[in-house]
């Protein structure tokens, strides 16, 4: 069990922290306000190995561990949770190709994905299939050497601004056994995108519906075999849940740091805010919860790296706990700022808005409880 970082891990974390401080944090408020998708900055991150963190090195990946990825995404999120979260989504989609694709597919797409010359989106959710992902209806019908796709995906991060879509589609009957995974060129005729959604947060990455209307996708773009798509999607989500938890903790850490600085400067009733014991206790509780969540994240990441039988449950546990803690810490930090926390220039309200969605995506926190409960009940039989 690991409770301290080794020299390599400290170097990885510090590299990502420095990049976040120099390249991301100074622009985060403007990106949010202008709804700017910072592709060029993400490509700079890719030159440091962050475009394919846990992709094998024969195709340009960094071949790091999920534990390393957790350190990187938390560090990047100290600058902007939204930007860090999208880089994590790109990594998740790329990993699916690395883990389940043929060597031909890996060599075709992954070198450019690792450099982020190509950028990927992950397409699972549909208008009528969110938490119940096995009920997805987007249909892919075999026609010679192609599949003909019809249907719609919803809430797709990066859609319209990315190059490849790693999509779960129905090639067979109802239920999870009828789902397959296709890698789709975003410029394929018959693929179109909805308007950029107006959202509470995550404004520095576009979110759009993806529509398929008789879109022809080569059979050669099928990952693994027909009927394995649900398994591929769920395998990707284990790591995705760790990544989004890390993004929550990074954003919350910045919020906590801002609150500490503000409390040293702000006075009320003749005393600095950090001299009031009640507020000291609030800070202490925030730090304790954040550290507990970080420790939990590390434990789950280590379990996923060693392919522990309980890894899926631990990832769900860490996601539920960490994203709840991240949001609550950021929300308390806003409260400690008083009215100033509600102003955009202080950067706290953006973090609160960005972190709120982490309790919903990569599986809602209610679904995380369901995963844990099922594992506990199965184990008791």
Catalytic residues: 362
Contact 319, 355 (CB under 8 A): no
Run of H or E residues at 193: strand 191-193
Q: What is the C-alpha separation between 311 and 261, in angstroms, rounded?
A: 38
Q: Is 342 helix (H, G, I), strand (E, B) or coil?
A: helix
* Exposure on the CB side of residue 114, measured as CA atoms within 13 A: 24
The total of other beta-carbon atoms located within 10 Å of residue 322's CB is 32
Q: What is the C-alpha separation between 126 and 131, in angstroms, rounded?
A: 10
Q: Is 180 helix (H, G, I), strand (E, B) or coil?
A: strand
Q: What is the C-alpha separation between 278 and 271, in angstroms, rounded?
A: 13
State both tokens at 245. Answer: 């938890």
Contact 29, 22 (CB under 8 A): no
Judge residue 378's burial from the number of C-beta atoms within 10 Å of its C-beta, 0-12 exposed, 13-18 middle, 19 or more buried: exposed
Local structure of residue 339 (DSSP, 8 states): G
Q: Which residues contact 373 (CB under 8 A, 6 or more apart)?
A: none
Distance of CA 136 to the CA centre of its chain: 21
**Residues paired with residue 170 on neighbouring β-strands, in sequence order:** 139, 179
Shortest CA distance to 243 belongs to which of 81, 50, 88, 82?
88
Contact 320, 368 (CB under 8 A): yes
Contact 137, 198 (CB under 8 A): no
């Amino acid at each position: 069990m690991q409770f301290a970082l080794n020299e390599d891990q400290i170097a990885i974390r510090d590299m990502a922290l420095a990049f976040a401080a120099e390249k991301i944090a100074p622009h985060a408020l403007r990106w949010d306000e202008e709804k700017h998708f910072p592709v060029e900055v993400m490509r700079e991150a890719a030159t440091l190995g962050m475009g394919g963190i846990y992709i094998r090195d024969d195709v340009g990946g960094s071949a790091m561990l999920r534990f390393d990825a957790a350190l990187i995404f938390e560090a990047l999120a100290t600058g902007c949770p939204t930007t860090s979260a999208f880089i994590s989504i790109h990594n998740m989609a790329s990993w699916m190709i690395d883990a389940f694709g043929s060597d031909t597919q890996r060599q075709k797409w992954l070198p450019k994905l690792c450099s982020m010359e190509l950028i990927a989106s992950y397409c699972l959710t549909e208008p009528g299939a969110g938490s119940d992902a096995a009920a997805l209806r987007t249909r892919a019908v075999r026609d010679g050497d192609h599949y003909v796709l019809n249907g719609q995906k919803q809430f797709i991060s990066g859609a319209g601004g990315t190059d490849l879509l790693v999509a779960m589609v129905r090639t067979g009957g109802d239920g999870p056994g009828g789902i397959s995974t296709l890698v789709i060129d975003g410029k394929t005729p018959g693929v179109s995108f909805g308007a950029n959604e107006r959202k509470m947060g995550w404004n520095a990455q576009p979110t759009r519906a993806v529509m398929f209307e008789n879109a022809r996708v080569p059979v050669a773009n099928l990952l693994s075999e027909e009927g394995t798509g649900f398994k591929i999607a769920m395998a990707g989500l284990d790591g995705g849940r760790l990544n989004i938890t890390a993004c929550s903790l990074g954003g919350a850490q910045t919020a906590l740091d801002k609150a500490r600085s503000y409390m040293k400067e702000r006075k009320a009733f003749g005393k600095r805010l950090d001299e009031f014991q009640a507020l000291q206790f609030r800070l202490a509780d925030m730090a304790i919860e954040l550290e507990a969540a970080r420790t939990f994240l590390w434990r789950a990441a280590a379990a996923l790296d060693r392919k522990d039988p309980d890894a899926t449950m631990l990832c769900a546990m860490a996601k539920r706990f960490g994203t709840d803690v991240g949001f609550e810490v950021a929300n308390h930090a806003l409260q400690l700022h008083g009215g100033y926390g509600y102003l955009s220039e202080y950067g706290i309200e953006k973090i609160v808005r960005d972190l709120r969605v982490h309790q919903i995506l990569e599986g809602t926190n209610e679904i995380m409880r369901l995963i844990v409960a099922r594992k506990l009940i199965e184990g008791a039989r």
